[in-house]
Structure 1
């Protein structure tokens, strides 16, 4: 069996456990494409998996990496859309930190006009996540107010741009004055430095209530989100950086008739992810091609330096996406 370069996880724990090694090259099966990876996005779920807290779904590669961009080099039986030589970006259940990766054809998208392969590799995980959570589960509509926590992250920068493109007022929380300026440059109407100001007090002082709240913190933020939610507000949970165990007064959930929901992306079926891909191509890919939205790349690392990429992400110093290149 042919071997390829890939990032090998030698145990569960710190970034030092990520090393460049060899793994068998995957083969495109029914309705799959084999992609020669040019770039792979780095995401928080990768860190969770490295620590042993986010195992891959059954049948998925144990190699880290949930999004890639590159050239199609093999087309499996039953594929109908893409051919050898096409450039695509893809959402995958694992295997992105490698020279080659397989992806379900229905979970692949063409590269938007004007974007490089490095930029395209930063699209799938964040754009799929934001679309399904903010616009499908959260039902964000034109003229509404959305509160986005972690505004300078890959998810945050994507959510800010898409929310503005669809006519919403955007409020976001970030961890420094520099990050406040950064997200304001992306279109945020109000940026709150959570290390200095309490977002609940800031919004109450301005008499602002939020129709949609995108949260990846959990813990103490659960009650605070309900405090600033508008009547009929929708709170969408996508991660728990603080804690998934909460003690809170849920009376506002009833009084304000709130919807508290959430979702994960990785365990969904190929068909479910394909529906998100179709919606993105129809409603968002034109925005990317016109430059109205754009993945923000903070730094790239060669595949051999995946450990350094993880250290940077865990430092929270980045603004935008971190990408591995081959």
Structure 2
């Protein structure tokens, strides 16, 4: 088969569409013939040499895919050869075939193509596990999504609105903010022109956000705490703005607030399977009814993964950039 390989760390130009050995499904795994995958920030970090796959995972990038099951490993039940599926991966999605733990499979939602479904697993599982399982967003609360036009951001907007929350977003252009508003965002903040803390306070009559989903990290740490409401919850899932920061603990104490930081890729198989099962139960009905939709900026050939990396690295897209095998 062919896969996107990383012969050496570097820019998008180092990515190579090369022939590699076919994966073999181990016990509890299935082999998926990939129709499409999507590009995530973790793929860019892996290409740059900063984010190796977890031990035992595929060495190729790609944290999600959609396609068809072509073989079952020993001990797999509930799935059959020919089933159309999408999957949460630890790596290997940017290839013609990938071995997937059965607990990380989801059926392609009714009414969606595999190309559309390829944009769902990583974003949905990330948002569900952090906004709802960690931060426990409730109806009527305010959710602030940093980077609302990203793949994760566009999904967080839709899921926040689906449960009856008020959703605020930050983004870096009027066009991106307009797209976020189309998806349901109630409060749109241009972080290049506005102080998001002041803008959010004004929009919420001084209350702030009950939950903040943050992809920036250190650069926004204290400002995110300042933006929290009393009993607010900040969940950090990205480090685009650095890894070391300071916070005023007195602010945190006075607000009786909480800060959590999580990732998805390195979690044990059982935890990932539990998240995927919850997504299938709670989110898949919303997708199949059209309440929640994949947001795809563009579809490119998988062999042109370097061009896709350039788009994501520059932050040009709204939603996901999908690679078609």
**Is 2:187 aligned against 1:160?**
no
Q: Residues 147 and 213 of structure 1 are in contact (CA less than 8 Å); yes or no, is this contact kept in structure 2? A: yes
Quote the offset at 1:243 in angstroms: 0.7
Quote the offset at 1:205 in angstroms: 2.7
1:211 matched residue in structure 2: 210
In 2, Cα distance between equivalents of 1:202 and 1:92: 37
**Is 2:320 aligned against 1:321?**
yes
Deviations 1:162-204 (A, max 9, x none): 0000110000000000011100000000110101111111122
Alignment of 1:1-326 (within 5 A): 4-206=1-203, 207-326=206-325
- In structure 2, runs of 5+ residues without a counterpart are none
- 1:20 partner SS: strand
TM-score (ref. length: structure 2): 0.98
- 1:220 partner SS: helix
Q: Residues 116 and 296 of structure 2 are in contact (CA less than 8 Å); yes or no, is this contact kept in structure 1? A: yes
Quote the offset at 1:247 in angstroms: 2.7
- 2:51 partner SS: coil
- 2:234 partner SS: strand
TM-score (ref. length: structure 1): 0.98
- In structure 1, runs of 5+ residues without a counterpart are none
Q: Which moved more, 1:249-258 or 1:298-307?
A: 249-258
In 1, Cα distance between equivalents of 2:315 and 2:224: 22
Count the aligned residue pairs.
323
In 1, Cα distance between equivalents of 2:24 and 2:9: 27
CA RMSD after TM alignment: 0.8
- 1:310 partner SS: helix
Q: Residues 225 and 247 of structure 2 are in contact (CA less than 8 Å); yes or no, is this contact kept in structure 1? A: no
- 1:173 partner SS: strand
Quote the offset at 1:90 in angstroms: 0.5
